[in-house]
Amino acid sequence: MESVQPGEITLYDRNKELKAFDETKTGVKCIVDLGIEKIPQMFVRTQDEFTEDLAYADATRDQFQTPIIDEIRRASMTLGFFQLVNHEVPVSVTNEMIEGIRRFHEGDIQYYSNYDLNESRSANWRDTFRCRLLNPDPIDPQLLPDTCRDIIVEYWKHIMGLGDTLAELLSEALGLHKDHLKGMDCTQSLALLGHYYPACPEPELTMGTTKHSDQSFFTILLQDQVAGLQFLHQSHWVTVKPIPGALTVNIGDLIQLTSETNPPVYKDITFKEYINYAHSRGLDGVSSLNYFKL
């Protein structure tokens, strides 16, 4: 394979490569297991992607000093991220959840979808386990992989309760009744994603997950001890330093639609309209809400 420099895109048939990769019905880990020394062209970030990131390169701070946030409202408004400790999810459960997802990805392969492979400018260097759940309906364990079945059921029992509590706190932070978000069923339709980032022979050319905004009300993130998560704050990329046992909360796009600002900022839209538009674009680093601004 021809050597490629960061941001350099050579002439090649991208659609052919995407189709060939998709038809393997495997994933990124299987590429690594083949012993490759160079990553396929489809994973190489475009020059535009590198140029956009360079705008923040000099401003990146691994040790960004943020004030201690005493209230979730302040953290949500200023950062859009906060970390939770003393959340009553046992450390033994969070640790085993991370191990369970690792076991799944390192086990036998069963392929379902390529997600945004054809929409994204460059493919992400990761594999993902994903399942949808409905709250408060119980999980059918037989629908889950046996490598992580028990821990998903246990983890989910804790996370559902935590999600309900966060929905109440965020509702009050918006100046609404504490049951407002739950009344909108924001904690009813839930998705569980378990990402796996295989070792990469050319990490400078690609990304595990490209910059994006979450298409949800909020996300509860369970990090491992690799400090790869960052968020953009005042033109600085801020590294979210892992805290053993902590959970990280990311405020998603949809919660902004619940803010009763006057005059309104966004058009009146349905959830289906928003999701359909968001899914048509892939992870391009731009909030889908921009399309619906008045």
| Domain regions of the chain by residue span | 14-292
- For the segment 191-212, what is each residue's pLDDT rounded down to a tens digit? 899 999 999 999 999 988 888 8
- For the segment 37-49, what is each residue's pLDDT rounded down to a tens digit? 999 999 988 877 7
The candidate with the shortest Cα–Cα distance to 96, out of 54, 155, 145, 10, is: 155
Higher pLDDT: 112 or 58? It is 112
Q: Are 107 and 149 in contact (CB under 8 A)?
A: no
Torsion angle in degrees (nearest 10) through CA of 36, 119, 238, 227: -30
Domain 14-292 has CATH 2.60.120.330: yes
Q: Which range is least confidently modeled, 92-96, 195-199, 266-270?
A: 266-270
Three-state DSSP class for 291?
helix
Residue 61 confidence (pLDDT) above 50? no
Higher pLDDT: 271 or 182? It is 182
Q: What is the DSSP string of 75-132?
A: HHHHTSEEEE-S-S--HHHHHHHHHHHHHHHTS-------TTTTTSSS--S-EEEEEE
